[in-house]
Amino acid sequence: MNKVADIMTTVRQRRVGKGTEAAEDQPSEEKNVKNEEGGKILPGYTGRKLWNIFSVTVGGIVAISVGLLTSVYVATLHENDLWFSNIKEVEREISFRTECGLYYSYYKQMIQAASIQQGIVNCKQYLEPVYFYIYTLFGLQAVYVIALYVTSWLLSGTWLSGLLAACWYITNRVDTTRVEFTIPLRENWALPFFAVQIAAITYLLRTHLQPVQEKMTLLAVFISTFLFSLTWQFNQFMMLIQALALFILDCFDMLPTAKVMWLYIIQISGLLLVCVLQFFNSMILGSLLLSFNASVLIARTIQKNLKKGTLLNRLGKLILHVLLVMWLTFLINKFIKKILHLESDEHIFKFLKAKFGFGATRDFDANLYLCEEAFGLLPLNTFSRLSDTLLFYVYVFVLFLVTVAAVIVAFQNLSDSNQVQFMEKMEECTITLKPDAAYNFIHTVLFGCLAFSTMRMKYLWTSHMCVFASFGLCSTEVWKLILKCIHLYTPQRTRMMKYSIPIITLLYISYKFWPGIMDELSELREFYDPDTVELMNWIKSNTPNTAVFAGSMQLLAGVKLCTGRTLTNHPHYEDKNLRERTKQIYQIYAKRSPEDVYRILRSFGTDYVILEDSICYERRHSRGCRLRDLLDIANGHIMDGLGENEPDLKPSLYPRFCEEIKKNLPSYTVHFTRVFQNKTFHVYKLAKHK
């Protein structure tokens, strides 16, 4: 029995990397290399230690430099694209399109408050508030790139991998970030913290950590998880995928269970703290993440000896465990939502149901998402762009090798652990997968599936592609496996491939893309949107400060930012009441009577309504996806134009409001008076009938 135990311990260490030594330039704790006889240091130890210190120092300097250069790069692109430093304040604010303007408006409102101006945010004497805001976000890009760099470095053991990951991130900028033209988006605040969290988890899953190192890393995971959750409304869905990755790996015994449990608890704690800070945001309490994590913790308490037994025994326990967790998740989530009467995220599930073919829907909110390109499938031309930098080719190659290794290790972990002969054979096996590499493997697979299904989420995957591909290209384990497969393995050849191939790749990227980057930085444009500028100036000059405006979500965000006027609706779409209000306001683009539209607008206290020709006569979307079509379908009316209609749709008794109001017919002018118009916008003042 002792022999079996010894063999099992040895093989388990080899499989999950617990016995793997850190590479010579890896930022990790030193192994004990002292001679046990007299405590003397072995020859070469001092030189090796000095080399490690030098390598870590150089790698750290390169990481900070690359991060700062990325920050300057995207800031310069933003300046060159808009000539931001030379345009008027109203033009700067209009450049924050759609919901970006809404988010920036809260910052503007804060710095204009007297109590804040007299306090810590009074930076006007040093820097314009708008620059403080955008420079903070561009600075977070430096944090983002440094976190990607460090993650790749930790995985591969060489900072050369981090440099390659950063270069790939920059050269694939079109597919890895959109920060330079959507600055205030919540994802641009959140993703740097998510990258820091992944780096911290990667370090946490390393073996031979000291207790102090482990505690400090857990603290770093908690802080980054909290900041990520605080800054993005979709945090719960991203961390649910992360929790699923941890669950899968734990089921196959590829991660230390104790650390996985700590990560579940950290996710729960971070979300609950955010819930409190957001004035007890009930949507967080009803999230699937909280229900799932609680279910896993309960199931692990109920099911004992989950990782013991024969292969068939363990598979049976595993299937039962998965079913128990799913059932508990559904039960807990339904119970919480019923008790708290939560319906804030129902539109997301309607969208997912329709997107994946579980029945068509006429729900206006779900169709609004379905018809947006950003929520469609990932376009195939994405892969051609990623292939130009060699990123996609390397990523697929590394993913294939790691997938094979993961399948073998998972099978070994589930196999009969009581047969001595079997375990002796496994002791000779050279296929290993360290816990940190295993986590990043499942992470990239799951977020890759998310990106394939929803284009807007590709930024979560493509940035990690850079990390995973560079790790594989600079990994000793990967090259060792490849060379052994072709019978060319020697430690010297492995070392040569580990460094030469990444250097050649970096030289290729520099040669091919450096001229294009320089051309991009020298290209100058200027912001130009005279119609919107004219509208905002008119509102500020000709309407009272207390006036209430109705219109499209995207435009009203700009109205709030540029003029400070009160709105009937805005792009924050996570509130059910606000979604219903937006649908009602949008009847201005439907086939409704002037009396109905007037009654709806006045019920929300509207003084002015803004109509946009770009929506009323929209041609960007195909028939069935134009906003007016979605409203017609939701109202049970036949759509405009040639094409089929569902059989139960009926002709409307009234013409389209946004078109008919421009004819100044008495039935319209009795309720609406046009007070402003240009080539794009028409503003009508509502009469105040007794």
List, for residues 117-147, the tens digit of each pLDDT value.
Answer: 554 575 566 778 899 999 999 999 999 999 9
d(C-alpha 553, C-alpha 567), whole Å: 9
Burial (CB count <10 Å: 0-12, 13-18, 19+), residue 33:
exposed
Q: Given a cut of 80, is residue 13 above it in pLDDT?
A: no
Quote the pLDDT of residue 144.
Answer: 98
Q: Torsion angle, CA of 470/221/136/459, rounded to 10 degrees?
A: 40
d(C-alpha 495, C-alpha 337), whole Å: 56
In this structure, what DSSP letter does residue 389 have? Answer: T
Quote the pLDDT of residue 368.
Answer: 87
Q: DSSP letter string over 608-652?
A: EEEEEHHHHT--SSPTTTSHHHHHHHHHTBPPSSSS---TT-B--
Residue 193 pLDDT level (bands cut at 50, 70, 90): very high
Quote the pLDDT of residue 118.
Answer: 53
Sheet holding 681-686, edge to edge: 566-567, 548-550, 608-612, 681-686, 672-677
Q: Please answer whether residues 232 and 284 qualify as being in contact, where contact means their C-beta atoms are separated by less than 8 angstroms.
A: no
In this structure, what DSSP letter does residue 378 have? Answer: P
Question: Span 539-554, mean pLDDT?
Answer: 95
Q: Given a cut of 80, is residue 626 above it in pLDDT?
A: yes
| Amino acid, res. 408 | I
pLDDT in tens, 346-371: 777 878 887 877 766 788 888 888 88
Which of 40 and 402 is assigned the larger pLDDT? 402
Residue the block writes with tokens 């000539």: 83
d(C-alpha 290, C-alpha 336), whole Å: 10
d(C-alpha 367, C-alpha 347), whole Å: 10
| Amino acid, res. 638 | I
Q: Which of 135, 126, 141, 84 has the alpha carbon at shortest distance from 107?
A: 135
Residue 303 pLDDT level (bands cut at 50, 70, 90): confident
Q: How many CB atoms lie within 10 A of CB 249?
A: 24
Residue 110 pLDDT level (bands cut at 50, 70, 90): confident
Tokens read off for 242:
């992360």
Segment of 25-29, 84-88, 197-201 carrying the highest mean pLDDT? 197-201
Residue 562 pLDDT level (bands cut at 50, 70, 90): very high
In this structure, what DSSP letter does residue 568 have? Answer: S
Residue the block writes with tokens 């990690």: 464
Output the pTM of the full model: 0.89
Quote the pLDDT of residue 10.
Answer: 43
pLDDT in tens, 49-81: 888 899 999 999 999 999 999 999 999 999 999
In this structure, what DSSP letter does residue 278 have? Answer: T
Lowest mean pLDDT among 22-26, 166-170, 188-192: 22-26
Q: How many CB atoms lie within 10 A of CB 631?
A: 22
Which of 220 and 620 is assigned the larger pLDDT? 220
Lowest mean pLDDT among 42-56, 489-503, 517-531: 42-56
Residue 11 pLDDT level (bands cut at 50, 70, 90): very low
Quote the pLDDT of residue 387.
Answer: 96
Quote the pLDDT of residue 117.
Answer: 56
Residue the block writes with tokens 């019920």: 603
Q: Which of 339, 337, 338, 374 has the alpha carbon at shortest distance from 355?
A: 374
Q: Which of 257, 203, 258, 201 has the alpha carbon at shortest distance from 224?
A: 201
Quote the pLDDT of residue 125.
Answer: 66
Q: Which of 457, 498, 509 has the alpha carbon at shortest distance from 176?
A: 457
Question: What is the helix (H) or strand (E) element at residue 566, kind and residue range?
Answer: strand 566-567
Quote the pLDDT of residue 679.
Answer: 94
Quote the pLDDT of residue 25.
Answer: 43
Q: Please answer whether residues 270 and 226 qualify as being in contact, where contact means their C-beta atoms are separated by less than 8 angstroms.
A: yes
d(C-alpha 241, C-alpha 234), whole Å: 11
Question: Span 536-561, mean pLDDT?
Answer: 95
In this structure, what DSSP letter does residue 564 have? Answer: -
CA angle 444, 450, 456 (to 5 degrees): 115
Residues 6+ apart with CB under 8 A from 500: none
Question: What is the helix (H) or strand (E) element at residue 554, kind and residue range?
Answer: helix 553-563
Quote the pLDDT of residue 223.
Answer: 97
Q: DSSP letter string over 170-181?
A: HHTHHHH--TTT
Quote the pLDDT of residue 69.
Answer: 96
Quote the pLDDT of residue 653.
Answer: 93
Residue the block writes with tokens 């040639």: 642
Lowest mean pLDDT among 350-364, 532-546, 558-572: 350-364
Quote the pLDDT of residue 123.
Answer: 59
Query: What does the mean pLDDT of the chain come to?
Result: 88
Residue 418 pLDDT level (bands cut at 50, 70, 90): very low
Q: Given a cut of 80, is residue 572 above it in pLDDT?
A: no
| Amino acid, res. 397 | F
Quote the pLDDT of residue 427.
Answer: 45
Tokens read off for 506:
């970096």
In this structure, what DSSP letter does residue 377 have? Answer: P
Quote the pLDDT of residue 360.
Answer: 67
Residues 6+ apart with CB under 8 A from 49: 30
Lowest mean pLDDT among 15-24, 198-207, 618-627: 15-24
For 20-53, what is the HEC assignment? CCCCCCCCCCCCCCECCCCCCECCCHHHHHHHHH
The proportion of the chain whose per-residue pLDDT surpasses 70, expressed as a percent, equals 90
